[in-house]
Structure 1
Amino acid sequence: MVRRRVSHVPTNVITGFLGVGKSTAVRNLLARAPGGERWAVLVNEFGEVAVDGAALGSGEGEAVIRELPGGCMCCTMGAPLEVTLARLLREARPDRLLIEPTGVGHPARVLDTLRGDSLGEALDVRATVCLVDPRRLAEDRVMASEVFRDQVELADVLVANKIDVCEPADLERFREWAHAHFPPKARVELVRDGRIDPAWLDVGVHPGRRALFPDAHDHHHDRGETPVAEPEPGRPVRQENSGQGLTACGWRFHPGDCFDQDHVAEVLRSCAPGARVKGVFHCDNGWFLFDRADGALSVRAASWRTDSRVECIADEHTPPHWDAVEAALQGARLAPAKG
C-alpha cells in the first residue's frame, strides 16, 4: 500500500517564558482537539532530563508526543531539528503539529526553519501563540530580556495566562502593553489554567512581524558529556546543562524506585530556592506530576509509567547545592519491599 505524502500540516509554535504555563496550555489544546483528528507535539526542554513529555503523558487521546531535550531548539537548527520533524511527521502523520520551544528559546530561528525549503511543503505554519504572566511585566529583568521581547514581537496571538492570581492592576498593565504593539496582534486574550481556544490557532498571520533582536540567542551551551549509564535502584543518573544565564540539573531514577508523595512535595517546595522545578514520580499511591513555578507547587495525577524524573532550572549566578537537592530526593525514596 502506498502512503500519501505528508504535506501542509497545520503547525503552531507555542512560546512564552519559563513557568508561564506552556505545557498546561498544550495539554488543554490536545484535550480539545476535534474528534477524529490526530495531533502531534514536539516539545523542547532546556535541561538534559526530559520531563515535559512525561507531563503531557500518553493519555491525551491520539496525540503523539516527541521530545528534543538538552538545550534550546533554536540552537539545534538545521539537520537535527529537520530530521526530528521529518521522522515525527512520517510516523505520526498528524492533522496538526504543535511545537513548544523552551522558555529561553528565541522563536525567530524556529519559525525560519519551519518555513524553510526543507519543511516548507510539509508544513503550513499558522499562528504563533505567546503566553505571558501579567505579573512579570513589572519585572525589569523580564522586560529587558531580548528573547522575551521577541517571543512577544513574533506572536500573532498574545495570551495573558494565570489571570486568576493577578491583581486588577496587573491585567490593566497587560492590556495597555499588549494593544500598543505594531503590527497589532490578531488576538489579545486573557485566560486561566492555559485554556487557549483551538480556534485561535488559525487566526491570520501578519507577514510584517519581525524579530527586534534576531541574534539575541547567540550563545554556547555548556552541556558536557551525557552519561550513558542507566539508573540503578537507589542510584539515580544526574545530568547538568547551562547557558543563557541559567543552569539546570536533572535526575532519572530506576523504574523500581518508589517515593512518598508528601515527602517529595515537601522537598520540591523547599529545595533550590527560586528554581523552576518539574518532575514526575512513582509514589506509593500512584504516579504524580509535581510542578513548581513562581514558588507555588502543584501536584496532579500523571499517566506516565516509565520512571521517576525531575528537572530544576535556576539562575547560574546563584546555583543551588545540587548534592543537597539529590540527598533530599533520595530521602523521599521508600525502602524497597522485602520479598
Structure 2
Amino acid sequence: MTARVPTNIITGFLGVGKTTTILNLLKNKPQNENWAVLVNEFGEIGIDGAMMTDQGAMIKEVPGGCMCCTAGVPMSVGINALLRQKPDRLIIEPTGLGHPKQVIATLTSEQYEKYVDLKATIALVDPRNLSNPKYTTNQNFNDQLDSADVVIGNKVDLCQSSDIDVFGSWVTVQEPPKVFHKLVKNGELPLEVLDIERVFGSASSHIEHHHHHHASMEPQFELPPGEAFIRRENKGQGYFSCGWLFGAEYEFNFDQLFSMLSALTAERVKAVVNTDQGCYAFNVANGVVSVNQMSLSGFESRLEVIDSQLMPWDQLEEILLKLAGIKS
C-alpha cells in the first residue's frame, strides 16, 4: 500500500443509531470510492454486516463481544483483511458495549502507522440519555463520549427542547473541548465530518489499557447441514444477548413478526429476515420498530435480542419458530 487509508471510528451506546449513520454514509459516499467497514457486535449472530452488505461495502464482522481484548487479535485480523483490499476509506463500528480507547490505541500503534490515517473519533449520543442515570452512571457510556473528538447528538427529532439544552450544556463543559458537535436526525451525518483531523492532546489521545471479554474469530454464522436454525447466547457487562440464524428456505409472516417485535420489551433488537413480503431489516430501540426493505435474496434470516435482564429465550424461540413455520 502506498497511501494511508483514511479511517474513522464511529462509536456510541446501544440503540443510538450507529448502523443507521454508517448506512447513510455509504449511500452518500463518492461513487468512485470503495469503502470498507469493520463491524463489532456484542451478540454472537451478527446483524449489522448483513445490513451494510446491501450497500456494496466491503464488510468484516467481529461478533461475540468487544473486539479489542486479548491483545486485539480479532480486531487486527479483521483490519488486516480489509486493508488488503485497498479501500478508499475504512470505518470501524465497535459494539455499543465496547471500549473505543483500546481500538484507538491499536490503530495509532506502530503496527498500523504506515497504513492507517486515523481521523477524529466520532461518538453518537441520544441527547435524552444525558439526563438518564442508567446511562450517565455507565462506565462504557462515559468512556465512549470521553474518547471522542467529535460528538453527534442523534435522534434530535425525538428530543424535547430540554434534552437539547442538556446536550448543549454538556458539550460546552467538556475538557479537553470537543473538536466539533452537531445535532442530527436519522443518523444524517455530513460526509465532511469524516475528514476532521484528530487533535493531539484530545481525549482520544489518552489511552488506558484494560482487559475484558474475548471476541472469537471462529465462524459464528454457519448453519449445520440439515438444521433449520441455530441459537447463540452471550453475556457480559450487565447485558445478555440471544441470537438466532434460520435457513434461507424459511419465510416469516411479516405482520406477525412486526407485532411480536413491537410487543417485545427488550432494550435492543436487530434482525434481517426473509418474510412473505420480501427481505426486511428490523431495528428496535426505545420501543420503536423501524423497517427497511432489503434487496438480498436467498439469505439466512437472523435476529439478535439484547437486554439488561435475562429474558425467557426458550419462549421467544417458540414464537419465532411458529412465525417461520418450523416445527419445534
Q: Deviations over 1:158-192 (max 9, x none)?
A: 10000001000001110110121112111110000
The 5 Å alignment of 1:78-97 reads 78-91=72-85, 93-97=86-90
1:332, 1:321 → 2: CA distance? 17
> Match of 2:145?
152
Question: How far apart are residue 218 of structure 1 and its match?
Answer: 3.5
> Match of 1:65?
59
Q: Does 1:50 align with 2:46?
A: yes
Q: Does the 8 Å CA contact 2:250/2:274 hold for their aligned counterparts?
A: yes
Compared CA separation, residues 221 and 248, structure 1 to 2 (3 A): farther
Q: Tell me the C-alpha RMSD between the 2 structures.
A: 2.3
> Match of 1:289?
281
Compared CA separation, residues 246 and 335, structure 1 to 2 (3 A): closer
Letter in 2 for 1:242: K
The 5 Å alignment of 1:124-163 reads 124-163=117-156
Number of aligned pairs? 324
Give 1:265's match in structure 2, choosing from 258, 263, 266: 258
Question: How far apart are residue 247 of structure 1 and its match?
Answer: 0.9
Compared CA separation, residues 143 and 149, structure 1 to 2 (3 A): same
Question: How far apart are residue 142 of structure 1 and its match?
Answer: 0.7
2:35, 2:158 → 1: CA distance? 31
> Match of 2:317?
326
The 5 Å alignment of 1:17-32 reads 17-32=13-28
Q: Does the 8 Å CA contact 1:134/1:160 hold for their aligned counterparts?
A: yes
Question: How far apart are residue 125 of structure 1 and its match?
Answer: 0.3
> Match of 2:91?
98
Question: How far apart are residue 22 of structure 1 and its match?
Answer: 0.1
Q: Does the 8 Å CA contact 2:120/2:148 hold for their aligned counterparts?
A: yes
Question: How far apart are residue 76 of structure 1 and its match?
Answer: 5.0
Compared CA separation, residues 220 and 227, structure 1 to 2 (3 A): closer
Q: Does 1:184 align with 2:184?
A: no
Letter in 2 for 1:192: K
Question: How far apart are residue 48 of structure 1 and its match?
Answer: 0.6
1:98, 1:188 → 2: CA distance? 19
Give 2:301's match in structure 1, choosing from 291, 300, 308: 308
Q: Does 1:74 align with 2:82?
A: no
For structure 1, list consecutive stretches of 5 or more residues without a partner in the other structure: none
Letter in 1 for 2:283: D
Instruction: Report SS of the residue matched to 2:97.
Output: coil
1:95, 1:227 → 2: CA distance? 28
Question: How far apart are residue 209 of structure 1 and its match?
Answer: 2.4
Q: Does the 8 Å CA contact 2:70/2:214 hold for their aligned counterparts?
A: no
Letter in 2 for 1:297: V
Letter in 1 for 2:270: K
Question: How far apart are residue 233 of structure 1 and its match?
Answer: 7.1
1:117, 1:47 → 2: CA distance? 30
Question: How far apart are residue 227 of structure 1 and its match?
Answer: 7.9
1:102, 1:188 → 2: CA distance? 22
2:22, 2:94 → 1: CA distance? 12
Instruction: Report SS of the residue matched to 1:291.
Output: strand
Aligned-pair identity (%): 42
Compared CA separation, residues 120 and 320, structure 1 to 2 (3 A): same
Question: How far apart are residue 288 of structure 1 and its match?
Answer: 0.4
Question: How far apart are residue 210 of structure 1 and its match?
Answer: 3.5
Q: TM-score normalized by structure 2?
A: 0.92
Compared CA separation, residues 153 and 161, structure 1 to 2 (3 A): same
Q: Does the 8 Å CA contact 2:105/2:207 hold for their aligned counterparts?
A: no
Instruction: Report SS of the residue matched to 2:101.
Output: helix
2:24, 2:38 → 1: CA distance? 15
Question: How far apart are residue 23 of structure 1 and its match?
Answer: 0.2
Q: TM-score normalized by structure 1?
A: 0.89
Letter in 2 for 1:132: V
Letter in 1 for 2:186: D
Letter in 2 for 1:324: Q
Letter in 1 for 2:292: R
Instruction: Report SS of the residue matched to 1:151.
Output: helix
Q: Does the 8 Å CA contact 1:107/1:154 hold for their aligned counterparts?
A: yes
